Structure 1
């Protein structure tokens, strides 16, 4: 009987997308969304905390503005250094395992960072923070999307982006209430001086630690197991999803067998034929194969487009976006000094000298600046929510296309502003559109890249995005006080170009995989159609 053929009922057979759809939509998906939201909140905290923590720490540790800039750069360098590592590990070891490990270690590093006494130690910690938080930044959207039915993938990714915005709404409010607290200043031993900014770091580490523990109870992505050739494990998770969502017994799940993806099977066989001396070498060879596939037809066009669009997006979001609070401060100062004058943005550079004369080492935050920051974050939150609602009715490239065009237009218009109120309106539109675009660009990758390489594809996109962020930050630092129109118009042009490139993004790959089973004289006959990729 061991050699007897296996018979399939056609109604028990399905491809992955249909199988996920048959799990229903309920409590399981809500928990996946919740843990992903916590992960994205933690990621947002790490990306934004430098704007609040280190100006306060500068008072206690007495480091220069140049050293403050180095601390901010160290975080970005850490993210660039780990871009490809996490993608490869996620594609080879699993998404869940990497998310758990990196969140746990990053929370520990942040807590350690809160008690270190010197700038050099903080420098190492911020590099490690950037290195580790790059994992959820590159993987979490893939992880949550792979549990979703096709109809909900883009809306769920867009919804997850809301929580990144929420993190930037929470940060200034926490900073406003915690950092000025003088009653938490005390000395531990002879070398640790505890201050409010250290308490702020510990508070931000707590949700990340809880997120890591939460991932322990969550399953691995079923699509990851399918890509690895383990249909049994994939079906086990799908049955669990079905049971939690519907309340039925797992055995009642209508899909008993999954149609194999021909390309996935071929890639799996190739990886199985790799004979190496150790696991590290196998991972490196797998990475080389995955990278080659990204720069070969039919993925070459998608790779170039998504990387260029992400470069343009982060060139604006983390370049001009980080300088918007500074522009707020300069507009406010100009209006106080010259109440009857109408400034151009180039005239604001004259206020640098005034600002330098009035520097004081106080960890307090002006209420108007905090208000402006909260308004920008709240606008982004509403914008993200609206886009997540309408995403089900639009093609997945429409939202990044429209938001990138809005971001490019508003960034260029900053040059023509003449008041802080105008700056607040334009800054709110700019940040809202750029954050929404940043999150939805990830949905393009999930839709167009095969499961086998989507992890490393996301990491490649983030690599180019972070290069764009560093280039833009350098450009603003170089010209902001002398010829600020140069970086403003460059950002506007680059972001608009990224938006126009969204027109070229192809529609979803059409993996028409059909299996016709006929039972004749006890022999299974399977016919698999080709892997047809259409650009329409």
Structure 2
């Protein structure tokens, strides 16, 4: 639809993306991006910390491998349950409010988790953390993108995504300095302080800081536009302009925004669709569309790929430090002998008398190496992604990750295991990021958001199942879950071969008439200040 004449002739009235571009790029975007990157870093911390706190916690609380796996499942289960809830609340209450609430409450939960001497409390805390951290894990990308003009949105989201990978590098570095400390204090069995608990307390600090940081940041202007508050959106854009250019807000050239409203408009009256019942109904209708032709095949393929990917990433990925520890124990018990993965199953079960309360420094160095390799590899693939399709990248990375996982069975030295672990972690983490791009390309805009939520939800379910498999097998047949991961990752590559080549349609697939689609979904009108006040 062509813009009205006054939009072409008068800069004071323009659409939202044009108004957003006129705010410039400067101090406001630097601060907002920094806050969102810190938020994603916290998400990465919460997703990966179990690999470092559970081995020492196992000694202190006398946990079995099954109980360690159940703690992982509790966290992943919490994030799976909340997958759609936070998106719904953010669309009705605002992104900023949800981000503030979840970060501050999760910081308190992490502190409680670090002090409690009871394993049941630890399980409840990890379940709660998974539920809460699911909000910034998905909403931050939406929040940061809505402050950037179209040409910069993908770059801002990619930058935030790299901090999730960076978290897996920083975790072992922090653990390197904290876990070897000789700290042991128990106050009347009410709260305890040990190195792994101090480690948790330190990780609660950025959670608290980023929650407070979001308080000083504004709500997304695009959210205000979607809710029918152009005056509030304009106020945010003026603030952005003032911060970026160092000028008074009154100098912002836009005085009126042409709004894109996804609702019916009759007699110049704007009707905003914001009722809870209607939103819930729309969500259910969107989900049903994903499981009907012509989207059913795409939904099946993308959810299958993500399930296989996260089965390996949060299965073998989280248990790699435990495997390093097992190799180390075998070398201690059987010096000058060749180690195989099958030999690890012959190790005596770890008890309170035999386990070590902290990582050996060599294990920490190994995990730092895998994290650093993953970060560098991810940066390289971000550049390669501009040359090849997301489908082909995911295919290649999944197959390489699967082969590297299966090869662990035939390795004979700690150095060989480290090299393969670096390859696996790098390829699977990068493939995980590229799968979302496949979803964005395949699905219509009208169901793109709910499709991403569904794919992530199914992926987290795969992550939870994989931790159950590892928990049951690590002490008895630790080679079994390794081969299962290898099969699933190669299967993800095979599924990529079946993904259609076409990109997402520009309009709704259910509407055969383009003009009808535009009229029903992208009706453009000028929202006057009087209507906004109402």
For this structure pair, what is the TM-score category when the shorter chain's length is used for normalisation?
Answer: 0.7 to 0.9
Q: Deviation string for 1:472-510 (max 9, x for gaps)?
A: 223334445666555434323322333454453643543
CA distance in 1, matches of 2:194, 2:332: 32
Question: How far apart in 1 are the matches of 2:114 and 2:228?
Answer: 44
Change (3 A) 1:194 1:421: closer
8 Å CA contact retained: 1:88, 1:455: no
Alignment-derived partner of residue 134 in structure 2:
134
Matches within 5 A, 1:301-320: 303-320=299-316
Q: CA RMSD in A?
A: 3.7
Larger deviation, residues 312-321 vs 335-344: 335-344
Q: Is contact 2:306–2:458 with CA below 8 Å preserved after alignment?
A: yes
Partner of 1:111: 111
Q: How far apart are 1:47 and its partner, in Å?
A: 1.6
| Match in the other structure for 1:406 | 400
Partner Cα distance (2:295, 2:249) in 1: 37
Deviation per CA, 1:444-494: give whole Å up to 9, x if none. Answer: 556666777655444322211111112222333444566655543432332
Structure 2 distance, partners of 1:481, 1:61, is: 18
Q: Spell out the pairing of 1:236-275 with structure 2 (5 A cutoff).
A: 236-250=235-249, 253=252, 260-261=259-260, 264-266=262-264, 272=272
In the other structure, the counterpart of 2:225 is: 226
How far apart are the structure 2 equivalents of 1:73 and 1:136? 19
Structure 2 residue 371 is the aligned partner of structure 1 residue 377: yes
Secondary structure in 1 matching 2:263: helix
Structure 2: distance between partners of 1:302 and 1:148: 29
Q: CA deviation at 1:15?
A: 5.1
1:288 maps to which residue?
284
For residues 272 and 376 of structure 1, the distance between their equivalents in structure 2, rounded to whole angstroms, comes to: 49
Deviation at 1:147, TM superposition (A): 2.7
Return the alpha-carbon distance in structure 2 between the equivalents of residues 435 and 371 of structure 1. 19
Take 2:471 and 2:102, find their aligned partners in 1: how far apart are those partners?
32
- TM-superposed deviation, 1:164: 1.6
Contact preservation (8 Å) 2:145, 2:153: yes
Provide the residue aligned with 1:52 in structure 2: 52
What is the match of residue 92 of structure 1? 92
Q: Name the CA shift for 1:159/1:494 in 2 (closer, same or farther; >3 Å).
A: same
Match of 1:459 in 2: 453
Whole-Å separation in 1 of the counterparts to 2:64 and 2:476: 22
Identify the residue that residue 360 of structure 2 maps to in structure 1: 366
CA distance in 2, matches of 1:450, 1:27: 34
Partner in structure 2 of residue 436 of structure 1 = 430
Q: Which of 503, 510, 515 is 2:506 aligned to? A: 510
Match of 2:201 in 1: 202
Whole-angstrom distance in 2 between the partners of 1:349 and 1:400: 33
Contact 1:185 1:194 in 2 (8 A): yes
Give yes or no for contact 1:157–1:440 (8 Å, CA) kept in 2.
no
Structure 1 unaligned regions, length at least 5:
1-5, 513-526
- Counterpart residue number, 1:516: none
Q: Aligned pair in 2 of structure 1 residues 413, 506: CA closer, same or farther (>3 Å)? A: farther
- Aligned pair partner of 2:470 in 459, 472, 476: 476
Cα distance between partner residues in 2 of 1:28 and 1:301 = 42
Describe how 1:481-496 pairs up with structure 2 within 5 A: 486-496=480-490
Q: Secondary structure at the match of 1:510?
A: coil
Q: Is the 8 A contact 1:176 1:364 kept in 2?
A: no
Partners of 1:91 and 1:453 within 8 A in 2: no
The answer on 1:211 being equivalent to 2:210 is yes
Q: Count matched residues.
A: 505
Residues of 1 paired with 2:358 and 2:252: CA distance?
Answer: 58
8 Å CA contact retained: 1:107, 1:209: yes
CA distance 1:173–1:116, shift in 2 (3 Å): same
Cα displacement (A) at 1:318: 0.7
> CA 1:453/1:189 → structure 2, altered by over 3 Å: closer, same or farther?
farther
Identify the residue that residue 519 of structure 1 maps to in structure 2. none
In the alignment, the residues of structure 2 paired with residue 172 and residue 475 of structure 1 have an alpha-carbon distance, to the nearest angstrom, of 24
- Aligned-pair distance for 1:404? 3.0
TM-score of the pair, normalised by structure 2:
0.81
Q: Residues 105, 314 of structure 1: CA spacing in aligned structure 2 closer, same or farther, 3 A cutoff?
A: same
Question: How many angstroms does 1:270 deviate by?
Answer: 12
CA change 1:282–1:107 in 2 (3 A) is: farther
Cα distance in structure 2, aligned partners of 1:398 and 1:249: 49
Alignment correspondent of 2:513 = none
8 Å CA contact 1:71, 1:126 repeated in 2: yes
Does residue 9 (structure 1) correspond to residue 7 (structure 2)? The answer is: yes
Give, in angstroms, the shift of residue 432 of structure 1: 1.4
* 3-state SS in 2 of match to 1:8: helix
Cα distance change of structure 1 residues 93 and 400 upon mapping to structure 2, 3 Å threshold: farther
Find the aligned partners of 1:147 and 1:121 in 2 and give their Cα distance. 39
The equivalent residue for 2:525 is none
Contact kept, 8 Å, 1:302 with 1:505, in 2: the verdict is no
Unaligned runs of 5+ in 2: 509-516, 523-534
Indicate the SS of the match to 2:358: coil
Conserved 8 A contact 2:263-2:272: no
Give 1:103 deviation, angstroms. Answer: 0.7
